[in-house]
Amino acid sequence: MKKRIIKIVIPIILIIAIIIALIIIRNNQKPEVHLLSEVYNQLNGITSYQFQKEKDMNNKTIVVKDGNNVVIDNYTTGTHTTTIIKDNTTTYITHEKEEYYIYNNTNIDVNVVESWLADVVNREYTTGEEKIRGKKYYYEEYQGTTMFTDTNVLNDDESQVKTRFYFDNDNKLVYIKTIFSQMEEETLKIEISTDIDKSLFDIPEEYMEISID
């Protein structure tokens, strides 16, 4: 009787173990979806968003799109500039000098981040996983540089440069890494939100307008 019970129990245990293993494998697998294309389609489908790429505390860029208006707020070590494209005019602010310039424009593409993504999404890519800051992420790797990089690559061989886009478990874009031919790497932390900071469109009252002749 005991032998019959053992013979029955062992197959059941094996079946349960196989089911558990399959569930684990399934949960660890990424769906066969072009995730960067999903990000591109998402941004194309909304009228307002805020995008931030940050290399470190002193080097970051914030792009805010609000309908037909857009602002690009850029911090580079030692400098802070803001470009506001609103109501067919472009305002360029230099915060260190507390000055701004106004240009009249009629044909302006306010789809800034969408155009950066459009330059990449149709390229061939490979996939993989890698740890960044102690956490494992799924990535899509593309050949060449992109408009997202903050590093000057004029002297690099484009064929040796690779760009990786990293996604978390919710398929959100969280990092972009550019790998250069000389083994130099640039990693940018990415944040995308539908909550926007409209105050970035404001020109500080104490700033002086500089006329353009």
Task: Give the model confidence (pLDDT) of 162-205 as tens digits.
Answer: 999 999 999 999 999 999 876 688 999 999 999 999 999 999 99
What local confidence, expressed as pLDDT, does residue 184 receive? 83
Which runs of consecutive H residues, i.e. helices, occur in 29-120?
35-44, 112-118
Question: Is residue 84 in some structural domain?
Answer: yes
> Which domain does 25 fall in, by range?
1-29
One domain for residues 73 and 178: yes
More confident of the two residues 95 and 1: 95
The string of DSSP codes covering 92-154 is: EEETTTTEEEEEE-S-----HHHHHHHTTTTS-EEEEEEEETTEEEEEEEEES--TT--S--T
The type of residue at 178 is T
> What pLDDT is stored for residue 180 in this prediction?
86
Q: Would the pLDDT of 21 be above 70?
A: no
Q: Please check whether residues 66 and 169 belong to one and the same domain.
A: yes
pLDDT in tens, 161-170: 899 999 999 9
* Residue 14 confidence (pLDDT): 57
Query: What distance in Å separates the CA atoms of residue 178 and residue 166, rounded to the nearest whole number?
Result: 11
Is residue 67 scored above 50 in pLDDT?
Answer: yes
Question: Does 22 share its domain with 49?
Answer: no
Structure tokens at 16: 């349960």
